[in-house]
Amino acid sequence: MANRYKPLSHEAWQAEQAVIILAASRRLDWRRWPAARQVGYLCSFTGSLPVVEAHLGTGSVLAEFYRNCLHNRSYSEQQRCRKVLLALAYKRSELLWRPELSAALAALVQVYPQRCRELADWQPRSRNPFRQLESLVRHLFDQYGDLPTWVLNAWTANRLHDGINIADLTTHLGRGGALRTFHKLPVPLTRKLEHHLRQAPAGYTFLEALLYAQLAARNQLAWLGPVLDSRLGRRLSRDDEFYLRVVDFFAAAPMVDPNQFGPVCDWIHQKRRVGIGDEPAQPGFSLKGRSMAGVLAHTAKWHRQLVRARNNPDSRHPQETFASTWELLPVPNFTGGDKGQVRITQLGSYWELVEEGGALHHCVSSYLNSCQRGRCGIFSLTLNGVRTLTLEVLANRTIIQARGKYNRRLTDTEYVWVTRWAAEARLLVPKHLFAAAG
């Protein structure tokens, strides 16, 4: 049988339709239409995502809204989305069409049935789309006007699933529910912790707000910066209560450098979970009876072992460990300055981690397991070919650490380049990270 008579496979048919639709879409400029007509056009589509994107233009604003708000939604959800988007169009809201807010609007549509006020009664008081979003969330869900500012900020910062479902938490608190009774909390809360959690600064994630509350409850807020920079600030862990006692241990010691808190926590983690040298892991390890001088000496000794390991692999660091590589995070590297003298590059092997730690005298090589599991990526900033700064980026595209030689904070020059890279790569930057820049 001739090839022209063979039936097309479903995949080939989809590709053919996409080409036809793409050609037709080039003759249709929906960008010139009024917002309400664009909403109607967007909500008229069904079918596979590639075909719809061919209609709307791959990477276009409408395609982004379709992917987040309408794709794989039930009929009732699609109709609800149409209602909300049309209402925003009639309000001439700046929320349409901002691709960076499409995920937040999708979450808003999902919890829209739990609103306490009607969208028709909302009046935007600013042309800033982020302020409009905050105002809209307050209007729809904040019945008593006491939503914590960090919850509202999570909507505008697109951090709706950062350790907790912010949309569900918003509706729960908006109806007057207590934080400690929210059924999806990853940790139990006391009344005291809830009180301090509500007072956390606006730009904090849930994890940062929780650490703020835990330290405030212990009268240790002076240690918030070092704690946020340590492994406590990266993710919730069953060991958090233990490490909070490490904070008390540091606070009770006179004249101790707060920047040593993070390295000591890394040493303790290695000792409790992995083991150091020929010693097996010690899950029951405790600081009881230990002095601060002894703990710092053990931490420094472990660090020196990591540095020497590059040139002296032995039974504690088998050769296969040095050959370890992992899949890099989908975060672009950066080149800037005259003749590209500034570079930010992701490290992809254990050798590179050891070299980075040896050059800057810190313990970044201890991140081998986290890199292999895809929890984070380690980046090195070089100026004129010299390593000056190490950065940790979580899988959710948040920069959570920036450390130079001997764990120093970043300089003003490094701050400029890191913020420029973060803007280009669309990375989130917590406020505390650059608090001590310079």
Domain boundaries, the chain: 10-125, 334-434
Q: Could you report how far apart the first and last alpha carbons of the chain are, in Å?
A: 75
CATH no. for 334-434 = 3.40.630
Cβ atoms within 10 Å of 398's Cβ, excluding its own: 20
pLDDT of 320 reads 46
What tens digit of pLDDT does each residue of 365-408 get? 767 777 887 878 999 999 999 999 999 898 888 888 888 887 78
What tens digit of pLDDT does each residue of 66-111 get? 999 999 999 999 999 999 999 999 998 889 888 889 999 999 999 9
Low-confidence ranges of the chain (pLDDT < 50): 1, 27, 315-320, 436, 438
d(C-alpha 138, C-alpha 147), whole Å: 8
d(C-alpha 127, C-alpha 34), whole Å: 18
